[in-house]
Amino acid sequence: MSRPIQIKKHPFPSLLYLEWILLSITALIAVIPPPLRRFRPKFPELTICGLFPDLSICNLLPELSIYSLIVFALMGLKLPTSNRNKIIYTIFGILLILITELFGERFARLFPFLYIILVTRSCLIFKLPGRLFVTSLSFALFLFTTQLKYQMFNFQASPQAQERFRFLSLNWSLVFGLSLVFVLLMMNAVLSERHSREKLAIANEKLRQYATQIENQATLEERNRIAREIHDSLGHSLTALNLQLETALKLWQFNPGKAETFLATAKELGSKALNDVRQSVSTMRSNPLQEQSLERAIASLAESFHRSNGILPIYQINLEYPLPPEINTAIYRITQESLTNISKYAYATEVKLELATARGNLRLIIQDNGRGFDLGQNTTGFGLHSMRDRTLALGGEFNINSAPGSGCKITVNIPLTRLT
């Protein structure tokens, strides 16, 4: 027990009530009149004062026994916590019991309930080795006091009475020993159950905390997913729309017919962006491919890129078997974001895309011959983070190779064996 056990916060109120009942029985015996005089020669008071009634101190010892019983009862209201105080507490309790046993005339006739209470308290303050020691010591002290009483009885009784007393003492010792074992086993079971409940309560509290953390993490991941979806879908459409409008403005005075073509494409992109917004707000669709294949979806991205930039990406797709939906979505979004970044920043004249499966691994390579960038300064954009997060979420590797004036190469490797 890590805290002092007090009457208002006792962990086992029923045990405290039982202790009070036993102490009440002990106190009640103290006020019961002594046996009839005709039985005294057969069963004299087996105490120090019963053997030596002329001792002057015997007049005070009965009161001392009652006071000892009261102090012993009050000790149960608050149990110690430190190891040193536990030992002092137990020794003092044993001394009080010995005073009551050896010097209290009427207490000597009672079943040794005080030892039972001592063992019960020791179970609350000591671990198993300490409990066993106190239980063994209680039984040894009981045998010692019983033997002492037997020696006293030999001075006053006949051989037949001595034999009868020896038989009763043996039975009494056996019953008391079994009572100690029962109390020890019962207390160990009660304490084990309490310890299990405390561990279960701690585990439930940790589980509640973990559930809260998981809920918060799931909320954060969902927010990031929504941000990625809006950035990858709506951002791509608006970027392409902006490029179409800029081109139309430049051609409007010199070639109105071609400018109208770009405006028509811009209108289509605007409709697509509006549709993406509606879908993102309503359901945040997890599969932008809908029912089309990944090859066809990438081909559509290449055609859209060609319409916006006048460059037809060179792409090669070699998939040996269909991929799981989550991989299709990730590859589509990474490809879409890469082409968007090339449109916005690269000023490239050539774009190559390779997608293939081999030896349980999926590899995506997107390369352009644009102006490139410094990896130490330009890798904090949301688009790059989105592509990296999607790759890492599938247990893959995401690499960027670029330098100013040397283009950019993005490589994505995703293991397929762990996802099948």
Looking at the predicted structure, is the pLDDT value of residue 316 above 90?
yes
Taking residues 105-131, what's their average pLDDT? Answer: 77
Delineate the domains of the chain, giving CATH numbers in brackets.
7-157 (no CATH), 292-420 (3.30.565.10)
Looking at the predicted structure, is the pLDDT value of residue 114 above 90?
no
Torsion of CA 68, 70, 72, 76, to 10 degrees: -170
Q: How confident is the model at residue 68 (pLDDT cuts 50, 70, 90)?
A: confident
Looking at the predicted structure, is the pLDDT value of residue 175 above 80?
yes
Name 358's bridge partners: 361
Q: How far apart are CA 363 and CA 357, in angstroms?
A: 6
pTM score: 0.43
Other C-beta atoms closer than 10 Å to the C-beta of 358 total 10
Looking at the predicted structure, is the pLDDT value of residue 50 above 90?
no
Instruction: State the average pLDDT for the chain.
Output: 77
Name 366's bridge partners: 353, 410
